[in-house]
Structure 1
Amino acid sequence: MPEQSRKSEADPISGTQPQALRWAGLSAASDTEMDRFARLVSRVLSVPVAFVSLVGKNQQILPGLFGLPEPWAGSRALPLSHPLCRYVVSSGQPVVVPDARVDGRLRTNPAIEDLGVVAYAGMPLTDGDGLVLGSLCAVDHEPRAWSEGELCDLEDLAAACSAELRLRVLSAQSRAAQKVLETARAAAERARNDAQRLEREAQAGLDHAELLLRASEELAQTSGLEDVRRRLRDLFVGVGKPTYVGLLVADEDELHRVPDPDIAHAVEREVLTLPADAAFPSTQAMRERRTVFVADREAMVADYSPEAVGFFDRMGMATVLCLPLWGSRALLGVLAICWAKRHEVGVTERATLTAASGYIAQAVERALYLDERISVARELQAAMLTDLPLSDHVEISALYQPAADDHMIGGDWYDAYHLPGAPVSDGETSALMVTVGDITGHDMHAATIMGQVRSMLRQATLDHPPYSPATALTALDAACSVLPMETSGTLVHARLDPVHGSHDWTLTWSNAGHPPPLLRTPDGHVTQLLEHDVLLHRSLGPFDRTEHRRPLPPGSTLLMYTDGLVERRGHGMDAAVAQLVALLARHGNRPLDEVLRRIGNRLAEPAPEDDVVLLAVRTPSTPQPQRW
């Protein structure tokens, strides 16, 4: 006997059969297919009773039956003491009994009296693994010798019934497996979504930390509002990167937009100033001193003016967050952060942006302070630049170009004035003093020293007739060596005198370490006036300056300049001076204003790193004879 059969005899009903019945969807209730098999058995074998008996947990169930009386027909179940099919289950083989009443195994079975079982034939019903689930039974109330054909028909019907059971079990198992697979897929999808969410949250957290780090580092280096605005453009990166970041600065009852200095936003420049009562999110943040969040266009339409809606539509923005920028004493302005698509700003992101706005506010406050100082310094420096003297004889022009960096202020200057005394003769003018200098440094202190040196040099010149440039510079050296002034720099101090009875002039100059002036004669020849002494510095003490003299033919042009014109990082100074000489030779016969513009535009590109001063003087040309 197979191992399974031996086990079944000892324990004919295991937990496996009930599980298989659950897979097959059978219970102590009528089943259409199982009832059909019972009717087929009754009709084919001509028996009064037939049924499908399956092993349950504490009973045998009859999902298919024909001919059983009540109460069995109603309950569709038999106690384990009644069914003869337990012998089929325990042996795994057909059980065929002509007369149960005389059979040694069955004669005491209660089913003989309760069910009227006399003749019995039962074929095993198995699942796909060969496990016996029950039997297909034929019962006669009279003794009966079962023919071979009848048993073959019953066996065939049992095989068909087993196939139906197997199909049901497989279908149920397939559905269960599909459900398990779907559950696993759903769990995997949830896990993947959770992992992606956690990854996004982790990346967002990293981006937020990097934002604060960049804000603390990048904005600490800013030098003005334009620089702050420029750095804002690339400050926000990573998850949730805004499409546009705008900076608006408060001024009494207005907000002034700081436009991007490098990228032209045409719409941005349409609204450069907003009154405080304008129905814009930014002005609301200014008025109410709080963060204002506009989730989408519908909220914009509901709460703000048509002008605001139109502005953000033209900018292509959907979500807007406006953060007030607080300085140490007052509200400085508003930071507008915008997204082109709807963007949910969570608690963590809002906290990060608020913290970043604190760094931005510090940079704005510092920039406003520096811009104010630079503006004052520029005004001071402009005020110190001399108004050129008017003359009907000598042509004179000057050009001042500030450094590209607004912080580079202070040291470069020029001066020009007529010396006292009557004209030499009718139609002639008095002598002219001209100076170009560069005080070391690029700050307010340098501008202050420059103003003092200019005034002291004027005084030294006018106090020492006959107004020698060298004598004036020597007196300036002496004063600087004893006064508490950190004087350092270079300059050229020159005097132009008309020659009595001639159209010629005389140039006398003294050079304190300054780049050599250029002299262009009417024939286009340009000469560098290379003679010079040491630079101006208080530590050098009093120094006897030398001066040099050169005649100037009528129509000669003297050009003096500061080193910012010819000194460039990465470029040789000699090459720049050679280019300057060529420009003066080629264009020196043009009006002086045009000459200086051409030189400044050609040599000051790109924008100079230092201030640049140009001063040009042209002596009168020989009068042309009148034609009658």
Structure 2
Amino acid sequence: MAEQIRKPRTETGPDAARQQAVRRAGLSSAPDTDMDRFARLVTRLLRVPVALVSLMERDRVILPGMTGLPEPWAGGRALPLSHSLCRYVVASGQPLIVPDARADDRLHTDPAIAALGVIAYAGMPLTDADGLVLGSLCALAHKPRTWTDGEQGDLADLAAACSAELRLRILSAQRRSTQKVLETARAAAEQARSDAERLGHAAQAGLDHAELLLRASEELAQTSGLEDVRRRLRDLFSGVGKPAYVGLMVADKQELCRIPHPDIAYAMEHEIPSLPTDAAFPSTRAFREGRTVFVADRQALVADYSPEAVAVFDRMGFSTELCLPLWGSRTLLGVLTICWTKPHEVSITERATLTAASGYIAQAVERALYLDERISVARQLQEAMLTDLPLADHVEISALYQPSANDNMIGGDWYDAYHLPSAPSAPSGGPASLMITVGDITGHDMHAATVMGQVRSMLRQATLDHPPYSPATAVSALEAACSVLPIEAGGTLVHARLDPVHNGPRWSLTWSNAGHPPPLLRTPDAHVALLTEHDILLHQDFGPSHRTEHRRTLPPGSTLLLYTDGLIERPGHDIDTAIAELVALLARHGGGSLPHLVRRISKRLADPHPGDDVVVLAVRVS
């Protein structure tokens, strides 16, 4: 009896059919992405070091899906028949579950124990559409192990999905062959036409599934955030099964939070934005158990889930629900929920396709979560670097910072304003002098933001270390320090000082411009002047240069406007035209509220989806 089990079937018929089926599936000893995915799922669900998709050939076993196998077997992706327990599964057509091969009368002398370190083994048959066993999906462990019913069930489910994938591939090959026959046999009998039509429908379903996987791999690879992932899901599943609702839930501590569709209002997403992970819902069960959960109809829901789940099911008009766990590279990220309003039978092939698609979705969700976290940190860093505007007598200040619409970009734009120490000769109780700066460090990344923070601090220090606080002297000192440290600080800035004139109500403006767009000065009569005087921009290749400064006397009611180039530079638009429009806006609205002014300017001039950061700073003296 043991000898009969040891030798696999070698009849010409089954062997030839098996060889043909494997060839039609397009599988060999070369790696196959989908088969490797099944092997990885086995290692993840059963927590084993080795998992194989084994397919029987005449004189060897090929391994198109594999994980954890040592060399030299891993490189060749094939095993001799004598070294593969798959032959027992093929011979019997039944699962082979072995807690310890060394203690099994059939296997204790098997070469696989010494050569591969196989101690515990669990293998499930992989079959084609005719029930012919092509090989096995197996889990291997290097020490004794008792395989639980749940683990055997999970392995059987994965084997069914893998078999469905093999059948899909074989069916596609058969369809191509059938189409050639139909082209030369149009006068065939009605039964032949009926069979061809049946195969055509089956093949079309297979093509629809293949298209879903292709679109998932292509479209989801381009997503940049959870909102983008959610938006694409609805169209992605429109052709497969035609579900009424496809939802995305992401784990957050002890809850599953729904990601609402950004363009379509779904009642479920607004009424039940989140669920505790211990709630008796199909989605939370799929998350807790890390497996696919299928609810065929309302009766199944009533039997296994809470009244709250049934009430939601009824209120939304659903009849069938499928929930797939979204596994990331390190943890379970959330759940994909697919609902139908009419009873829907999810075939093995469709389930396998949806499971594979959920893998692409999980990758997109994991990438989106990483990007969202990175963007949040970047935005917090950028906001932390912005100055709290000081309160000053006879000076009103308002500023606006608008980040780039590209969430992956963090800019080097900044503004600054702070009081200067009072001069010994200044009358007591009078308004204090004020330094103001607007700058733009070249770049749109974390490095640019870091350099911006360094430059802002260094410019403050350079200013305060050089009384009487000359803007040009401070900028020159900044350049000198950057060249010595060194800090690659390239960009532009305007650094200015506002001083009260002691013998009257006027103010004195002194500024130095390092290649920055010209500030605008509006006098109380609504006349706007461009302060065009400037020196070269900051750049490490230029080295420290001679910086000049310029002065203007400002009557009470004057408004000074500083800004960065993101306000006036837009693709396809002339900068001079944009500056002229800015002058007109300042002339017309510069006498009103400063916060209202900077918002109006940003709304009118800045791109609705700017590719660069925008800073606007307005100062009015009285």
Q: Same fold (TM over 0.5)?
A: yes
Q: Give me the whole-angstrom Cα distance separating, in 2, the residues matched to 1:592 and 1:561.
A: 14
Give the equivalent residue in structure 2 for 1:234: 235
1:256-314 CA-partner distances (Å, limit 9, x unpaired)? 11111122224322111111111221111111111111122332333333332333444
Matched, 1:619 2:621: yes
Q: Secondary structure at the match of 1:543?
A: coil
Equivalent in 479, 486, 507 of residue 477 of structure 1 = 479
Q: Give me the whole-angstrom Cα distance separating, in 1, the residues matched to 2:474 and 2:380.
A: 28
Give the equivalent residue in structure 1 for 2:220: 219
Give the equivalent residue in structure 1 for 2:558: 556
Offset at residue 206 of structure 1 (A): 1.9
Give the equivalent residue in structure 2 for 1:307: 308
Moved more, 207-216 or 307-316: 307-316
1:489-546 CA-partner distances (Å, limit 9, x unpaired)? 2111111111111111111111122221111111111122222222211122111122
Give the equivalent residue in structure 2 for 1:585: 587
Where does the alignment leave 5 or more consecutive residues of structure 1 unmatched?
1-186, 621-628
Q: Secondary structure at the match of 1:540?
A: coil
Assess, with a 3 A threshold, how the Cα gap between structure 1 residues 440 and 500 changes in structure 2: closer, same or farther. same
Offset at residue 189 of structure 1 (A): 6.7
Q: Secondary structure at the match of 2:285?
A: helix
Q: Secondary structure at the match of 2:366?
A: helix
Give the equivalent residue in structure 1 for 2:322: 321
Higher CA-based Rg? 1
Give the equivalent residue in structure 2 for 1:434: 436
Give the equivalent residue in structure 1 for 2:571: 569
Moved more, 332-341 or 432-441: 332-341
Offset at residue 615 of structure 1 (A): 0.9
Moved more, 416-425 or 524-533: 416-425
**Do the aligned partners of 1:396 and 1:615 also contact (CA within 8 Å) in 2?**
yes
**Do the aligned partners of 1:439 and 1:487 also contact (CA within 8 Å) in 2?**
yes
Give the equivalent residue in structure 1 for 2:48: none
Q: Give me the whole-angstrom Cα distance separating, in 1, the residues matched to 2:348 and 2:513.
A: 68
Offset at residue 602 of structure 1 (A): 2.4
Give the equivalent residue in structure 1 for 2:535: 533
Query: Once superposed, which parts of structure 1, at least 4 consecutive aligned residues long, lie more than 4 Å away?
Result: 187-193
Q: Give me the whole-angstrom Cα distance separating, in 2, the residues matched to 1:313 and 1:468.
A: 74
Q: Secondary structure at the match of 1:338?
A: strand
Identity across the alignment (%) = 77
Q: Give me the whole-angstrom Cα distance separating, in 1, the residues matched to 2:245 and 2:442.
A: 42
Count of residues in Structure 1 that have an aligned counterpart in Structure 2: 434
Give the equivalent residue in structure 2 for 1:46: none
Assess, with a 3 A threshold, how the Cα gap between structure 1 residues 296 and 565 changes in structure 2: closer, same or farther. farther
Assess, with a 3 A threshold, how the Cα gap between structure 1 residues 538 and 282 changes in structure 2: closer, same or farther. same
Offset at residue 398 of structure 1 (A): 1.0
1:133-172 CA-partner distances (Å, limit 9, x unpaired)? xxxxxxxxxxxxxxxxxxxxxxxxxxxxxxxxxxxxxxxx
Q: Give me the whole-angstrom Cα distance separating, in 2, the residues matched to 1:457 and 1:412.
A: 14
Q: Give me the whole-angstrom Cα distance separating, in 2, the residues matched to 1:338 and 1:569.
A: 44
**Do the aligned partners of 1:207 and 1:237 also contact (CA within 8 Å) in 2?**
no
Assess, with a 3 A threshold, how the Cα gap between structure 1 residues 340 and 602 changes in structure 2: closer, same or farther. farther
**Do the aligned partners of 1:211 and 1:236 also contact (CA within 8 Å) in 2?**
yes
Give the equivalent residue in structure 2 for 1:157: none
1:82-107 CA-partner distances (Å, limit 9, x unpaired)? xxxxxxxxxxxxxxxxxxxxxxxxxx
Assess, with a 3 A threshold, how the Cα gap between structure 1 residues 280 and 575 changes in structure 2: closer, same or farther. farther
Give the equivalent residue in structure 2 for 1:104: none
Q: Give me the whole-angstrom Cα distance separating, in 2, the residues matched to 1:399 and 1:316.
A: 48
Q: Give me the whole-angstrom Cα distance separating, in 1, the residues matched to 2:300 and 2:420.
A: 74
Offset at residue 341 of structure 1 (A): 2.4
Q: Give me the whole-angstrom Cα distance separating, in 1, the residues matched to 2:498 and 2:298.
A: 72
CA RMSD of aligned residues (A): 2.0
Q: Give me the whole-angstrom Cα distance separating, in 2, the residues matched to 1:556 and 1:487.
A: 32
Assess, with a 3 A threshold, how the Cα gap between structure 1 residues 488 and 406 changes in structure 2: closer, same or farther. same
Q: Give me the whole-angstrom Cα distance separating, in 2, the residues matched to 1:495 and 1:482.
A: 26
Offset at residue 389 of structure 1 (A): 0.8
Q: Secondary structure at the match of 2:510?
A: strand
Q: Give me the whole-angstrom Cα distance separating, in 1, the residues matched to 2:543 and 2:310.
A: 70
Alignment of 1:355-504 (within 5 A): 355-422=356-423, 424-504=426-506
Give the equivalent residue in structure 2 for 1:595: 597
Task: Report the TM-score when normalising by structure 1.
Answer: 0.66
AA in 2 matched with 1:473: V
Alignment of 1:1-400 (within 5 A): 191=192, 193-400=194-401
Q: Secondary structure at the match of 1:337?
A: strand
Q: Secondary structure at the match of 1:533?
A: coil
Q: Give me the whole-angstrom Cα distance separating, in 2, the residues matched to 1:247 and 1:314.
A: 19
1:405-425 CA-partner distances (Å, limit 9, x unpaired)? 222213111110011125832
Q: Give me the whole-angstrom Cα distance separating, in 2, the residues matched to 1:307 and 1:506.
A: 71
Offset at residue 217 of structure 1 (A): 2.1
Q: Secondary structure at the match of 1:345?
A: coil
Q: Give me the whole-angstrom Cα distance separating, in 1, the residues matched to 2:191 and 2:553.
A: 95
Q: Give me the whole-angstrom Cα distance separating, in 2, the residues matched to 1:424 and 1:193.
A: 102
1:545-571 CA-partner distances (Å, limit 9, x unpaired)? 222211111110111111222222233
Q: Give me the whole-angstrom Cα distance separating, in 2, the residues matched to 1:610 and 1:317.
A: 46
Q: Give me the whole-angstrom Cα distance separating, in 2, the residues matched to 1:482 and 1:220.
A: 44
Assess, with a 3 A threshold, how the Cα gap between structure 1 residues 252 and 532 changes in structure 2: closer, same or farther. same
Assess, with a 3 A threshold, how the Cα gap between structure 1 residues 197 and 563 changes in structure 2: closer, same or farther. farther
AA in 1 matched with 2:396: E
Assess, with a 3 A threshold, how the Cα gap between structure 1 residues 366 and 419 changes in structure 2: closer, same or farther. same
Q: Secondary structure at the match of 1:472?
A: helix
Give the equivalent residue in structure 1 for 2:546: 544
Q: Secondary structure at the match of 2:406?
A: coil
Task: Report the TM-score when normalising by structure 2.
Answer: 0.67
Q: Secondary structure at the match of 1:531?
A: coil
Q: Secondary structure at the match of 2:541?
A: helix
Q: Secondary structure at the match of 1:457?
A: helix
Give the equivalent residue in structure 2 for 1:607: 609
Give the equivalent residue in structure 1 for 2:509: 507
Q: Give me the whole-angstrom Cα distance separating, in 1, the residues matched to 2:581 and 2:191.
A: 73
**Do the aligned partners of 1:203 and 1:239 also contact (CA within 8 Å) in 2?**
no
AA in 2 matched with 1:364: V
Q: Give me the whole-angstrom Cα distance separating, in 2, the residues matched to 1:265 and 1:543.
A: 61
Assess, with a 3 A threshold, how the Cα gap between structure 1 residues 528 and 201 changes in structure 2: closer, same or farther. farther
AA in 2 matched with 1:502: G
**Do the aligned partners of 1:481 and 1:538 also contact (CA within 8 Å) in 2?**
yes
Q: Secondary structure at the match of 1:277?
A: coil
AA in 2 matched with 1:442: H
Assess, with a 3 A threshold, how the Cα gap between structure 1 residues 530 and 587 changes in structure 2: closer, same or farther. same
Assess, with a 3 A threshold, how the Cα gap between structure 1 residues 482 and 232 changes in structure 2: closer, same or farther. farther
Moved more, 529-538 or 550-559: 529-538
Give the equivalent residue in structure 2 for 1:107: none
Offset at residue 251 of structure 1 (A): 1.3
Assess, with a 3 A threshold, how the Cα gap between structure 1 residues 554 and 281 changes in structure 2: closer, same or farther. same
Q: Give me the whole-angstrom Cα distance separating, in 2, the residues matched to 1:485 and 1:230.
A: 43
Q: Give me the whole-angstrom Cα distance separating, in 1, the residues matched to 2:191 and 2:255.
A: 51
Offset at residue 618 of structure 1 (A): 0.4
Q: Give me the whole-angstrom Cα distance separating, in 1, the residues matched to 2:320 and 2:575.
A: 54
Offset at residue 442 of structure 1 (A): 1.8
Q: Give me the whole-angstrom Cα distance separating, in 1, the residues matched to 2:281 and 2:616.
A: 49
